[in-house]
Every structure is written in structure tokens, then in C-alpha cells.
């Protein structure tokens, strides 16, 4: 999984190579050039790039359908190359999705700036999501420990500090994480 890896989906191989040249010239890695939407979906799912650049027109489906699947399943950000009408359509239908449209013809500067911005943002978002997930896990653990503490205090008359110490000690003695010890206590006492 590369942080600046890109997959391109466009049926015209020459155009795809041109885009690839521009991107690799600026230090980005283009892992694949796909020539159909279904191929792009398969490659994104197995190679996990940070960004998919897809043309709106594809031989088997539209770039929008591909974008809905890729962005909808949170696989990576999608940059669609569109015309005015397609852009309007996509933007009206995909407000919540991580899909950006650029109108063709796309200049080198616009492409590079957009890609740079998207990849930077996606890295940041991934980091935030990881932090958020970690916080959720910690919160769940804390809730479990609190519940176990509460039960211990209720059923055995221990003080809050003593109850916490008991869970902590059990965890240290047996090498079982405090979360699991708490679950066990809850199961036993409820």
C-alpha cells in the first residue's frame, strides 16, 4: 500500500500514458493503467492505491459508477475526468462521496495541483480515521472497565479505587488485557 500510489482508468492507452508521464515526472507512482471500469475496481481492491483517476467514459460502465463503488466503499479517493454536463451530474448526485471532478482538457498544472492536494488530504484523512478508530476502541474498553468496576463495587462493596486495582491486578497476574478481564467479570456477575 503506497501513500502516493495512483491507478488510472481510461480506455485510450495513449492518453493514459500521457497522464502517467505527467504524474511520474512529479514523483508520484502510477501503479496501473486500466482500460475498463471493472478492471479498475479489481485493481483498486487488490493494490489499494491512494487515488484513482478515471475517465467518465469507459467501455464497460461509467467512471461515475466506478467512483460510487470505490468511494462508496471507502477504498480510495476518486478523481473523475469529465465534461461540464457530467461534472454537474456527478456533483448533484454524489455530495457525500469522496469524488472530485476535473473538466477536460486538464492542464498539467491543474492535474498536478489537484493530485497533490487530494493525496495529501487522503493521507491526513486516513491518519484521522486511524486515530478515531483507536479512540473508539479505547472508549469501548473504558466503558467495559467502568461497568466491571461498578459491578464489583455493587456486589462486593469495594471502593472505586479498590475495584480498579482488583481488575488491574488480575490483568497483570494472568497476562490477560484489562478489557477481557472486565468482560469476564461482567459475564460472571450479571
Partner 1 sequence: MAKYTPEDVERMVMEQDIKFIRLQFTDIFGTLKNVSITSDLLEKALNNQCMFDGSSIEGFVRIEESDMYLRPDPNTFVVYPWRAQSDRVARMICDVYNPDGTPFSGDPRYVLKKILKEAADLGYTFNVGPECEFFLFQVDNNGVPTTVTHDNAGYFDLGPVDLGENARRDMCLLLEEMGFEIETSHHEGAGGQHEIDFKYADALETADNIMTFKLVVKTVAHQHGLHASFMPKPIAGINGSGMHTNQSLSKDGENAFYNPEDKLALSGIAYAYIAGVMKHIKAMTALTNPLVNSYKRLIPGYEAPVYIAWSAKNRSPLIRIPASRGASTRIELRNPDPSCNPYLALAVMLAAGLDGIKNNLKLVGSVEANIYNMGSRERAEHGIDSLPRDLYEAVWELKNSELMRKVLGEHIFDRYIEAKLLEWDDYRTKVHKWEIEQYLTKY
- The footprint of partner 1 (CB under 8 A) covers 32, 35-43, 45-47, 59-61, 68-69, 71-74, 93-94, 96-97
Provide the minimum distance between the beta carbon of 29 and partner 1 in the complex, in angstroms, as a whole number.
Answer: 13
Provide the minimum distance between the beta carbon of 71 and partner 1 in the complex, in angstroms, as a whole number.
Answer: 8
Of the pair 78, 167, the CB lying nearest partner 1 is at: 78
Of the pair 34, 111, the CB lying nearest partner 1 is at: 34
Of the pair 59, 88, the CB lying nearest partner 1 is at: 59
Provide the minimum distance between the beta carbon of 189 and partner 1 in the complex, in angstroms, as a whole number.
Answer: 29
Provide the minimum distance between the beta carbon of 59 and partner 1 in the complex, in angstroms, as a whole number.
Answer: 6
Of the pair 49, 179, the CB lying nearest partner 1 is at: 49
Of the pair 16, 145, the CB lying nearest partner 1 is at: 16
Q: What is the dihedral of CA 37, 39, 45, 46, to 10 degrees?
A: -160
Provide the minimum distance between the beta carbon of 103 and partner 1 in the complex, in angstroms, as a whole number.
Answer: 21
CA distance 166 to 149: 9
Amino acid at each position: 500500500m503506497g501513500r502516493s500510489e495512483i491507478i488510472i482508468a481510461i480506455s485510450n492507452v495513449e492518453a493514459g500514458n500521457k497522464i502517467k508521464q505527467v504524474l511520474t515526472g512529479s514523483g508520484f507512482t502510477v501503479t496501473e493503467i486500466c482500460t475498463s471500469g471493472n478492471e479498475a475496481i479489481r485493481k483498486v481492491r487488490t493494490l489499494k492505491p491512494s487515488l484513482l483517476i478515471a475517465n467518465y467514459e469507459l467501455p464497460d460502465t461509467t467512471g461515475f459508477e466506478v467512483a460510487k463503488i470505490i468511494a462508496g466503499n471507502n477504498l480510495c479517493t476518486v478523481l473523475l475526468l469529465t465534461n461540464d454536463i457530467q461534472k454537474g451530474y456527478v456533483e448533484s448526485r454524489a455530495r457525500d462521496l469522496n469524488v472530485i471532478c476535473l473538466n477536460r482538457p486538464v492542464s498539467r498544472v491543474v492535474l498536478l495541483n489537484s493530485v497533490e492536494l487530494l493525496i495529501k488530504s487522503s493521507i491526513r484523512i486516513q491518519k484521522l480515521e486511524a486515530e478515531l478508530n483507536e479512540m473508539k476502541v479505547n472508549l469501548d474498553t473504558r466503558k467495559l472497565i467502568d461497568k466491571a468496576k461498578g459491578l464489583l463495587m455493587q456486589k462486593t462493596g469495594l471502593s472505586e479505587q479498590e475495584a480498579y486495582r482488583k481488575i488491574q491486578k488480575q490483568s497483570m497476574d494472568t497476562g490477560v488485557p484489562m478489557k477481557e478481564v472486565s468482560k469476564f467479570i461482567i459475564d460472571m456477575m450479571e
